[in-house]
């Protein structure tokens, strides 16, 4: 039973953090780095809405206050490993290592999913994320541009010990920010990115045991930035967290922009 003060607190938090902005993406036929089928040419991405920015520490703090089962001191171990939100000062306070406008990281897939559900949303699928991340400020698909690839790739060379910047990078052609150069992001079907194809389609089953097998079913092997995302996501378990791994949420195309 929520007390009056808890309701007042929740209300003040809602006022403090304006509702997230979701922008429309058209979807369409899309050449993914990870084909839907060995033989398929392209995947179809349905129109959808994507959060323009990743979820911040401030937003996630508001969430754990209203959903205390996701506090780091109460979360069930099945849903988050011990490093979950460990950089926060306390279970209900951000502190100096977690600025409010910085993307929240050290969150598990289960926690990210629960957050998105609390916002009437869901995590984007890999294809949705990849579709969005192909854009730059002027083009829906900038992936063939070597300069663009270079710039994206530059971020991955940075040591992950540097403090994270705040959200609010340059908007792309859809108005989405921070898909590159800030954090890694969970996707709903992170556990669908098994990069080795079905053993029946392979000549040498032993090769499936190695990371290199993934390259057999990956297209566009020059797009290292995307391939690194695939490799990283496919190595994760749902309760895992990392210092650079955050998330954003998605909604169906017909959802209100609230």
Partner 1 sequence: MYILRTLAVLALTLVTAGLASAAELPGDSLYRLDLTLTDHHGRHFTLAARRGRPQLVSMFYTSCQYVCPLIIDTLKKTQAALTPAERARLDVLLVSFDPARDTPARLAAVFGERKLDAGTWTLARTGPGEVRTLAAALDIQYRALESGDINHSSALVLLDRDGRLRARTDRIGEVDADFVAAVKQALAAP
Q: Is 10 left (phi over 0), alpha (psi -120 to 50) or beta?
A: alpha
Under the binding rule (CB under 8 A), the answer on residue 257 touching partner 1 is no
| Angle, CA 241 vertex, CA 237 and CA 247 arms, to 5° | 100
Among 18, 77, 204, 256, interactor with partner 1 by CB under 8 A: 77
Residue 123, token pair as written in the block: 């995590």
Kindly tell me which of 71 and 139 has the beta carbon lying closer to partner 1: 71
Q: Cα dihedral sign for 52, 53, 54, 55? A: negative
Residue for token digits 């190695």? 210
Kindly tell me which of 7 and 76 has the beta carbon lying closer to partner 1: 76
Kindly tell me which of 78 and 253 has the beta carbon lying closer to partner 1: 78
Kindly tell me which of 152 and 233 has the beta carbon lying closer to partner 1: 233
- CB 140: neighbour CB atoms within 10 A? 16
Site for partner 1 in 206-235 (CB under 8 A): 234
Under the binding rule (CB under 8 A), the answer on residue 129 touching partner 1 is no
* β-bridge mates for residue 48, sequence order: 25, 252
Residue 58, token pair as written in the block: 């401030």
Under the binding rule (CB under 8 A), the answer on residue 170 touching partner 1 is no
Q: Which one of the spans 2-10, 15-23, 50-58, 184-192 is the region binding partner 1 (CB under 8 A)?
A: 184-192
| Residue ranges of E strands in 10-103 | 22-25, 28-30, 43-45, 48-51
Kindly tell me which of 52 and 196 has the beta carbon lying closer to partner 1: 196
Residue 213, token pair as written in the block: 């097998």
Residue 127, token pair as written in the block: 């294809």
Q: Which residues, including other chains, have CB under 8 Å from residue 258's CB and lie 6 or more apart?
A: 19, 22, 120
CA–CA dist 107, 115 (Å, integer): 10
What x/- string results for residues 30 through 69 when contact with partner 1 is judged by CB under 8 A? Answer: ------xx--x-----------------------------
Among 109, 115, 129, 247, interactor with partner 1 by CB under 8 A: 109
Kindly tell me which of 6 and 40 has the beta carbon lying closer to partner 1: 40
Nearest distance from C-beta of residue 157 to partner 1, angstroms: 28
In the complex, the residues that contact partner 1 under the rule CB under 8 A are 36-37, 40, 76-79, 109-110, 113, 188-194, 197-200, 234, 237-238
């Amino acid at each position: 039973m929520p007390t009056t003060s808890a309701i007042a607190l929740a209300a003040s938090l809602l006022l403090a953090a304006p509702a997230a902005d979701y922008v429309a993406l058209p979807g369409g036929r899309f050449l993914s780095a990870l084909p839907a089928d060995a033989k398929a040419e392209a995947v179809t991405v349905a129109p959808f809405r994507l959060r323009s920015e990743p979820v911040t520490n401030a937003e996630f703090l508001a969430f754990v206050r209203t959903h205390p089962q996701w506090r780091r001191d109460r979360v069930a171990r099945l849903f988050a490993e011990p490093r979950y939100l460990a950089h926060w000062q306390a279970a209900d306070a951000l502190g100096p290592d977690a600025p409010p406008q910085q993307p929240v990281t050290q969150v598990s897939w289960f926690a990210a999913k629960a957050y998105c559900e609390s916002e009437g949303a869901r995590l984007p699928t890999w294809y949705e994320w990849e579709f969005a991340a192909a854009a730059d400020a002027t083009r829906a698909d900038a992936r063939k541009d070597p300069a663009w690839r270079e710039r994206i790739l530059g971020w991955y060379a940075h040591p992950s010990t540097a403090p994270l910047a705040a959200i609010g990078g340059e908007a792309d052609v859809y108005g989405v920010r921070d898909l590159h150069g800030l954090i890694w992001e969970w996707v709903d079907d992170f556990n669908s990115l098994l990069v080795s194809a079905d053993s029946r389609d392979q000549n040498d089953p032993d090769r499936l045991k190695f990371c290199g097998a993934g390259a057999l079913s990956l297209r566009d092997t020059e797009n290292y930035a995307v391939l690194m995302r695939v490799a990283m996501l496919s190595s994760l378990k749902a309760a895992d967290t990392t210092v650079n791994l955050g998330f954003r949420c998605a909604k169906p195309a017909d959802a209100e922009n609230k």
